[in-house]
Amino acid sequence: MIKKVLIANRGEIAARIIRTCKQMNITTVAVYSEADQKADFTKMADECYLIGPPRVNESYLNAEKIISIAKQAKVDAIHPGYGFLSESDQFAGKCEEAGITFIGPKASVMKQMGSKVLARQLMEKAGVPTIPGTKEALATAEEALNAAQDIGYPIMLKASAGGGGIGMQVVENDEELVRAFESNAKRAKTFFGNGDMFLEKKLKNARHIEVQILADHNGNVIHLFERDCSIQRRNQKVVEEAPSTFISEETRRRMTEAAINAAKALEYTNAGTIEFLVDNKENFYFLEMNTRVQVEHPVSEEITGIDIVEKQIKIAAGESLDISQKDIYTNGHAIEVRIYAEDPVTFMPSPGHVSQITFPNEDYARNEPAITGPSDITHFYDPMIAKLIIHGTDRQDAIAKLTKALQTYRVVGIKTNLPMLQYISEDEIFRKGNVTTAYVQEHYIPNINAK
């Protein structure tokens, strides 16, 4: 039985986890940096502890300090949210050593999936299609150049560890590869403590579609259908929706079956996501596995009625899934947009003071904010300040409601990407569902710059 949970995170996801814990009558403990001492999530938690200075390596990435506070607060479990320590097998292992339940998969499984190179190898063994690319991690630009000759340009250079688009870049030739390798390896080393890189063939006109899975400790694995996350900037998602209107029922069946088989092959437990790239002929290829709750999980919750965070906690407590696949069906269509403190044209972060924020209050609009009133947005963390999730009877209804909701959304004092989201919601290409991972680069940026 889990009665007290420490949330090893901040902002929107910390607030999200606290809400579900309260519904489950679970006591919550928040940790916060000096920059977050007045943050909304600290006011929502039952207990709060200062963890350190603003910089992440001194606060939200300080595993030893977090576990020390967890022991002091006598918690039963730690929920890592997403980002920070959420995919650190070392942190999960430290929790296990301390006798604290880690709300996520086992450290050994996280270690396998934490290396994208190893994950590719394991997926191939499990019979899941993978994108042509390097089989082993690359330590030098020279190794990358040799591998690129076999793969052929364009190529996607990626960090073996981490996510969020960090350490990732499309390269078109040898010269670009040499320049990109060193800078991205250095960035990956800084963010993830691992500078290993690998290469994948760049798929043109691809869609980013992922399958949400839940797995308990008794071998039961289910999926909550798929999400289309193709609209991205800097290789980071901006708009997500569920279900995908691009794939056929047969592709959906094969893709969800592949995701479940992969989870079973790994003996995976808790919530996870198998991400795929899908070409214009609906061929799908394994991209990566996220061993945590994802930013876009609400769209899956909206179409299935299942609280993913609640299931995470119950699975971590040793409970079996109380639903089977036949109990799960889709209801309507959901779209999530991420509101970032950033310039809507250059995508550069826009820290500063928010003097006012106004949310749409329609019953079809689910607001998941990190801030609810006047607040300072610092440069220390990811610039996402809120998420807006819309549920409609079908995709067109959801888009119409999204457009209306965005018209009433206000953030005063800093630049945000709200103009970008409004543009997308009204764009015919988006409305027709003809979006790929190249949408922002090929359609949004040229049209905005032309105005």
Query: Which active-site residues does the annotation give?
Result: 292
- The whole-angstrom separation of Cα 334 and Cα 327 is 19
> What's the burial of 310, exposed, middle or buried (CB within 10 Å: 0-12/13-18/19+)?
middle
Q: What is the crossing angle of helices 107-114 and 249-266, to 10°?
A: 120
Q: How far is CA 339 from CA 119, 134, 411, 415, in A?
A: 31, 35, 10, 10
Helix and strand element counts for the chain (H, E): 16, 20
- The whole-angstrom separation of Cα 306 and Cα 43 is 26
Backbone angles phi, psi at 37, to 5 degrees: -65, -20
Host H or E run for residue 340: strand 333-340
Q: How many CA atoms lie within 13 A of 154 on its CB side?
A: 9
- Rg from Cα positions in the chain: 21
The two three-digit tokens of residue 171, written as one number: 């390269």
Amino acid at 110: M
CA-closest candidate to residue 420, choices 368, 347, 349 = 347
* In 80-155, alpha helices (H): 89-97, 107-114, 116-125, 141-151
Backbone angles phi, psi at 368, to 5 degrees: -125, 80
- The whole-angstrom separation of Cα 349 and Cα 229 is 21
- The whole-angstrom separation of Cα 180 and Cα 348 is 20
- The whole-angstrom separation of Cα 168 and Cα 157 is 6
Amino acid at 15: A
- The whole-angstrom separation of Cα 224 and Cα 301 is 8
